[in-house]
Amino acid sequence: MSDRILKVNELLKQVVADIINHEVESKGLLTVKAVETTPDMKHADIWISVLGEDEVAALAVVEEKKRQIQRIVNTKMASKNVPAIHFKVDKSGEYAQKIDELLKMTKA
């Protein structure tokens, strides 16, 4: 992955996290875990984790505000190409917990 894409990923992560904290009203805690921008910078997958709320409901709230979030991202990024953002739920925490439980079962 190029340095440029890594910088874009980090900038998007910071900008979107700030927007979500200020613009999206949710019953749970939403955290931006990672951003994956395509090499052509046309699309970016933004992985969010959800605590204290149903993941489907939280994703629906974020998707409802997606246009507003994209508009703010467009103004904050000084780049010729600003990626179109797509939200996805990060389930790596659940996956890690299941693996941990399986490992504990094998030790017993």
| Count of domains observed in the chain | 1
Residue 94 has pLDDT above 90, yes or no: no
pLDDT at 57 (0 to 100): 86
- Beta strands across the sheet bearing 29-37: 29-37, 43-51, 84-89
Task: Residue 18: give the domain boundaries.
Answer: 3-107
pLDDT at 95 (0 to 100): 67
The mean predicted confidence, pLDDT, of the chain is 88
Average pLDDT over residues 75-89: 90
User: pLDDT digit string (tens) for 6-48?
Assistant: 999 999 999 999 999 888 887 778 899 999 999 999 999 999 9
Q: What is the CATH number of the domain that holds 75?
A: 3.30.300.20
Is pTM beyond 0.75? Reply is: yes
Residue with more model confidence, 7 or 104: 7
Residue 70 has pLDDT above 90, yes or no: yes
Question: DSSP string of the chain?
Answer: --HHHHHHHHHHHHHHHHHHHHH---SSEEEEEEEEE-TTSSEEEEEEEEESS-HHHHHHHHHHTHHHHHHHHHHH---S--PEEEEEE--HHHHHHHHHHHHHHHH-
Q: Would you give the distance in Å from CA 32 to the centre of its chain?
A: 4
- Inter-axis angle of helices 55-64 and 66-76, nearest 10: 60
